Structure 1
């Protein structure tokens, strides 16, 4: 069974190399989760993320029913000032600029105190 496992790992590595990850730079804001566009109810104690309405609705395979949007099975990789965090995407912000992303408080405090409200110049990608 080891050779099959090794082939699977090699195939997974090749897929990862072929996929193109687009890195964005934008503003991070703090948000309070609830029932999100993906259909999940999250609490303020969970670390979850939101993207702009544009990013959510133009993601490959997006459907009229936001609960079925494939973006809901992905995460944001966020980096700022040497800090990195990967967070599941659960919602979108209807009026946010395209490059803005949101994090619930437990994630936001990895980058700044909640009193800051926003963090500019964060890098992020959907993985």
Structure 2
């Protein structure tokens, strides 16, 4: 009986002291917790057309291109067919100062750093004057 109790204590100790390693998980793939995670970067705008998600867009659409790093590493991304990337169509709320806009991811931005967003002129215009060209400190989160 004593052997059994000692063995149980050892097994429990081993279970709690054994490190568990797993690959980091992108918060965007974790449902409701993802919306509480805030990202930040620069905001710019571009003239869209046929985007990496396989849809044709115009400057009037409330869409955004995210950095190629984020686009390519998004959970479930398939490098051989970016049109099927699960990030496509995912919405985010971008905020700059007191203004915010909700946009859908429809493209991939080669010149963007990880937290940067490249808006259509309509989306950018909801945050700042187009005359600015680039705005620093845009905060955003998935919705």
Q: Same fold (TM over 0.5)?
A: yes
Runs of 4 or more above 6 Å deviation: none
TM-score of the superposed pair, with normalisation by structure 2: 0.73
Report how many aligned residue pairs link the two structures: 112
- Kindly indicate whether residue 58 of structure 2 is the aligned counterpart of residue 43 of structure 1: yes
Spell out the pairing of 1:47-86 with structure 2 (5 A cutoff).
47-64=62-79, 65-86=81-102
Asked if 1 retains the 8 angstrom alpha-carbon contact of 2:62 and 2:102, the reply is: no
Where does structure 1 lack aligned partners over 5 or more consecutive residues?
1-14
Asked if 2 retains the 8 angstrom alpha-carbon contact of 1:52 and 1:98, the reply is: yes
Q: Secondary structure at the match of 2:87?
A: helix
Where does structure 2 lack aligned partners over 5 or more consecutive residues?
1-29
Q: Secondary structure at the match of 1:33?
A: coil
Q: Secondary structure at the match of 2:108?
A: strand
Tell me, in whole angstroms, the C-alpha distance in 1 between the residues paired with 2:52 and 2:133. 22
Deviations 1:61-92 (A, max 9, x none): 11121000000030121011111211011001
**C-alpha deviation, 1:20, in angstroms:** 2.8
Tell me, in whole angstroms, the C-alpha distance in 2 between the residues paired with 1:16 and 1:69. 17
TM-score of the superposed pair, with normalisation by structure 1: 0.81
Asked if 1 retains the 8 angstrom alpha-carbon contact of 2:34 and 2:141, the reply is: no
Larger Rg: 2
- Kindly indicate whether residue 121 of structure 2 is the aligned counterpart of residue 105 of structure 1: yes
